Amino acid sequence: MRGVLAALLAAGLTLVTGAAGPQDDVGEAARAGQWQLAALRLPEAWRTATGEGVLVAVLDTGVDARHPDLRGTVIQGPDLTRAGKGPRARHGTAMASLIAGRGHGENHRSGVLGVAPAAKVLSVRVTLENGDPRRGRRHLGRDALAKGIRYAADHGADVISMSLGGGSGSWEGSASEEEAVQYAIGKGCVLVASAGNDGASTNRKNFPAAYPGVIAVGAVDRRLKVAPFSNRQHYVSVVAPGADIVTADPGESYVVSDGTSSAAAMVAGVAALIRAAHPGMSPYHVRMAIELGTRRRPADGYSPAYGHGVVSAAGALREAARLDATARGAARAGTAPASRTPVVAAMVGLALAMSARVLLRRRRRP
């Protein structure tokens, strides 16, 4: 089993199937390679919540619901790319497995285990695989991401995971996407996105991560050091494991890769755990719990590289419980109806900031 895992890690983005050895060995090697389970302190977190009753929308390249680790987990939503069938849904399947993978075999001891293994995934195809030659054609799926965000919000998503970058607009983003983000937050959705993978080169601002209200996630390696490729920007909220990450691949396969995509998917899973434990918690307070529950926090409390620190699922759940208890105590004391006043004020302020940004962007356009 360890030999299979060593081969996986040495090969980088190499597909591993049953042909490499007994399928049980491959599944066990995949589980053994999930170093993030301990780094995120998931065994402790799962004593509180596993994501049951939560729907996470995966806005990506599509999800293979037949993978052994995802069977019974995926709800297939629309294909908004208008591209028709193409290469297998590798990226979306990988992200879904990190969020809600359940493993397989006896006692689910083989395969990929997601951060919120009891959650459900709503798959909405909004982009194409990196290797798809049609990816650069702007007329395909115009405003697909904006439409996907709205679709997810209207179809019961508690969390929206967006491990993608650039969006349908330019590096300055697009008004339609920003308005969709505002709409989803208003519906109570927690939005999570990858910070970007060009930190070692252009370090460009990445959308949808840079939209106000989105939890932008950078990547750390096994030593919990920020990965060189992870974007360093003022919008980075937190960091999570994003190097040497084993994920499901279409069919019965697994793959190892690096990227802030994986880190964002894991934080979406943490948000799902919080929503399972505290169903009525606002997006503002879910984000606050994730940021307050981090470890390895920067000396000054925040940095563009680490954000507020390395995500801890157990820490986030503890902070969520504290925030929830404070709100309930305030409600009992009669200081605010259900303690919603600070939440409403925060959301109104966020909405105003978003509206201003959209208006300015529209004025700049010819």
Phi, psi angles (nearest 5°) of residue 217: -120, 125
Rounded to whole angstroms, the Cα distance separating 197 from 205 reads 10
Angle at 115 between CA 111 and CA 116, to 5 degrees: 105
Instruction: Give pLDDT tens digits along the chain (366 positions).
Output: 334 444 444 444 344 444 334 456 788 888 888 999 999 999 999 999 999 999 999 999 999 999 999 999 999 999 999 887 766 799 999 999 999 999 998 888 889 999 999 999 999 999 987 766 666 554 456 799 999 999 999 999 999 999 997 655 555 789 999 999 999 999 999 999 999 999 999 998 999 999 999 999 999 999 999 999 999 999 999 999 999 999 999 988 999 999 999 999 999 999 999 999 999 999 999 999 999 999 999 999 999 999 999 999 999 999 999 999 988 887 777 755 444 444 445 554 555 444 444 333 333 333
Which residues are catalytically annotated?
A: 60, 91, 261
For residue 258, the model assigns a pLDDT of 95
For residue 330, the model assigns a pLDDT of 78
DSSP for 289-313, written as a single string: HHHHT-BS--TTS-BTTTBT-B--H
For residue 227, the model assigns a pLDDT of 97
Q: Which tokens in the block code for residue 114?
A: 């997601």
Domains along the chain with CATH numbers: 2-364 (3.40.50.200)
Q: Which tokens in the block code for residue 309?
A: 């620190």
For residue 247, the model assigns a pLDDT of 96
pTM: 0.85
